[in-house]
Chain A
Amino acid sequence: DIVVTQSPDSLAVSLGERATINCKSSQSVFNSPNNRNYLAWYQQKPRQPPKLLFYWASTRESGVPDRFSGSGSGTDFTLTISSLQAEDVAVYYCQQYYSNPPAITFGQGTRLEIK
């Protein structure tokens, strides 16, 4: 299985400041034939299901504010919130879907709080 590891486990950022969450896969999730990275990002608020933020590593889901951005390729990926808002407090997960036969795995999550 591809192991996905996020860093840090928790993060406290001041309102209006930048927040950066990292995701590293144990092997590349980049597929050359279609030039895509098989990685998604989710936001989970308390007592709610995860909400999709990005797929193909950097394709923003409809309705996601543009202060959120996804980047990276191969084994190293980043979720960035350019200016933290109070409503961004949540746990963020990355997910790889590259494995074939399918063996989808998630990172352990990063808890984002206000400093």
Chain B
Amino acid sequence: QLQLQESGSGLVKPSETLSLTCTVSGASISSSSYYWGWIRQPPGKELEWIGSISPSGTTYYNPSLKSRLTISVDTSQNQFSLRLTSVTAADTAVYYCARHGLSGTYVRTWFDPWGQGTLATVSS
């Protein structure tokens, strides 16, 4: 059964860098055509797509975050990661990783399944 688990910095100071990793179990990132994505949800607010990556490293980013964002993949560890620089309080959120649905439209698909999420708080 496919499972995703987020891990990383839970408390980050303003202007510093948020780093998170998603570890995939039950399937190999490199052996499929699935894209993998990050989504966040500020407390009590709606979902926001952050960006997505293919097993070969092709990335798509939310234009509103693109200048601060890097998503990478490590197929040897079966992980993909997120780095968000120059964070502010507005970046405080639960961060989810998820697999895209499989379709000829690649990243232009739904998300299933999702990890349980990890809360990242930006505070001094």
* A108: Cβ under 8 A from any B Cβ: yes
What number of A residues sit within 8 Å (CB to CB) of B? Answer: 27
What number of B residues sit within 8 Å (CB to CB) of A? Answer: 25
A-B residue pairs in contact (CB < 8 Å), sample of 28: A38-B105, A49-B96, A49-B98, A49-B114, A50-B47, A50-B111, A52-B110, A52-B111, A52-B112, A55-B101, A55-B112, A93-B47, A95-B47, A95-B111, A97-B105, A97-B108, A97-B109, A99-B108, A101-B60, A102-B60, A103-B63, A104-B62, A104-B108, A105-B49, A106-B47, A107-B46, A108-B46, A109-B47
* A40: Cβ under 8 A from any B Cβ: yes
Which residues does chain B contribute within 8 Å of A17, judged by CB atoms? Answer: none
Which residues does chain A contribute within 8 Å of B62, judged by CB atoms? Answer: 103-104
Given contacts A50-B111, A52-B111, A103-B62, contact A93 B46 (CB under 8 A): yes
Whether B114 and A40, one on each chain, are in contact in the complex, defined by CB atoms closer than 8 angstroms, is no
Per DSSP, chain B at the interface is loop
Which residues does chain B contribute within 8 Å of A61, judged by CB atoms? Answer: 112
Interface string of A37-78 (1 = CB under 8 A from B): 010101000001111100100000100000000000000000
Residue of A nearest to B97 (CB): A49
- Interface residues of B, Cβ cutoff 8 Å to A: 37, 46-49, 52, 60, 62-63, 96, 98, 101, 104-105, 107-117
CA gap between A93 and B49 in the complex, in Å: 13
Instruction: Give min CB distance, B69 to chain A, whole Å.
Output: 14
Further pairs besides A49-B96, A49-B116, A103-B63: 6, Cβ < 8 Å: A49-B114, A49-B115, A52-B110, A97-B108, A107-B46, A108-B46
Given contacts A49-B96, A101-B60, contact A55 B110 (CB under 8 A): yes
Instruction: Give min CB distance, A17 to chain B, whole Å.
Output: 26
Which residues does chain B contribute within 8 Å of A55, judged by CB atoms? Answer: 101, 109-110, 112
